[in-house]
Structure 1
Amino acid sequence: MSFSLHEPDGGEANWAPKAVSDINVTPFVDVMLVLLIVFMVTAPMLAAGVKVNLPKASGVAAMSPTKEPLVVSIKADGSLYIGQEARSGEAFDADIRARLAADPKVMAHIRADASVPYEKVLDLMTTLSRDGVSQLAFIGKADKAAPQP
């Protein structure tokens, strides 16, 4: 609250300061500008450098596929498996194409060891896509300590 410094009727006698009921927004604007600057500085830091532990999933309901999926696994040493059988190179591509010939809409489930580099998983996804697989899903280990939905 502030007070008026001029006389209400222009005379000198009976002069008393009169309260002005206008809101002073200067402190509000100052606080908002400081908050804006703080958010502008901290927002890029929040987006960069996020650590992600991909193999674990918590709070996710298990999927129940309607058809038998094509399960492709990558072990820690980089070896590829289709179901329980080890495959590599042309044998891998031939098995994938044979499975797609039987069912063109088959979904591939990728099971990758936690220590497998992301580049190898990306290479597998590229190979599956090149062979004609259009639907991919990842299989992870549920985190039992996390609450379920």
Structure 2
Amino acid sequence: MGMQMDSGGAGRGRRSMNAEINVTPLVDVMLVLLIVFMITAPLLTTGVDVALPNSSAQNLPAPQSTPLSVSVDADGKVYIQETETPIEELTSKLYAITGEGYEERIFLRGDENVDYGRIMEVMTRMQKAGFRNIAMVTDPQAQIRGAQ
């Protein structure tokens, strides 16, 4: 990779062409992009903003596919994923999404400021419709933050 001098000139040096590709800048750019995507990907999957209640229970194993979540916000509004749904239409929309015999876990997320009866109403409607694998989501980090 050094400079080669041509001995055939009148003291003028000629450089030979270097045909190698320098991959260091490419690797640097790819690592920066990887870090950016690793940081932003979890932020894109938050869904409806609810303040989850505290719990010291152990987390359930994460599902292999994208989980179906039903959320109840502080105003008592019900959401399937990020779509607001009237509670009267909850089971029919769940059937439309899942079809018959949905065996995957459904995550029920309720804001800590919403009436407990409202969350139980949503859960009861889902159970009566045949959805038996319902998990209530809490925020284990809130317990740690509250102890400090």
Structure-1-length-normalised TM-score: 0.54
- CA offset at residue 76 of structure 1? 0.8
Which protein has the larger Cα radius of gyration, Structure 1 or Structure 2?
1
**C-alpha contact 1:58 1:144 (8 A) present in aligned 2:** no
Describe the SS at the equivalent of 1:57. coil
Q: CA RMSD in A?
A: 2.5
Runs of at least 4 residues off by over 6 Å: none
SS at the partner of 1:95?
A: helix
Asked if the contact 1:73–1:111 (Cα under 8 Å) also holds between the matched residues in 2, the reply is yes
Shift of 1:103: 5.7
Output the CA distance in 2 between the equivalents of 1:109 and 1:78: 17
Instruction: Give identity over the alignment, percent.
Output: 24
Q: Assess, with a 3 A threshold, how the Cα gap between structure 1 residues 146 and 83 changes in structure 2: closer, same or farther.
A: same
Aligned residue for 1:128? 126
Letter of the 1:98 counterpart: A
Please list every run of 5 or more consecutive structure 2 residues that lacks an aligned counterpart in the other structure. 1-51
| Cα-to-partner distance string for 1:23-80 (whole Å, 9 max, x where unaligned) | xxxxxxxxxxxxxxxxxxxxxxxxxxxxxxx811237346311233220000111100
Structure (1 or 2) with the greater strand fraction: 1
Equivalent residue letter for 1:92: L
Q: Which amino acid aligns with 2:133?
A: Q
Cα deviation digits, residues 3-36 of structure 1 (max 9, x gap) = xxxxxxxxxxxxxxxxxxxxxxxxxxxxxxxxxx
User: Which residue of the other structure, out of 140, 143, 147, is the alignment partner of 1:142?
Assistant: 140
Once residues 125 and 87 of structure 2 are traced to their aligned partners in structure 1, the CA distance between those partners, rounded to angstroms, is 10
User: Would you say the 8 A contact 1:59–1:146 is kept in 2?
Assistant: no
The answer to whether the Cα contact below 8 Å between 1:108 and 1:136 also exists between their aligned partners in 2 is yes
Contact in 2 for aligned 1:107/1:137 (Cα 8 Å)? yes
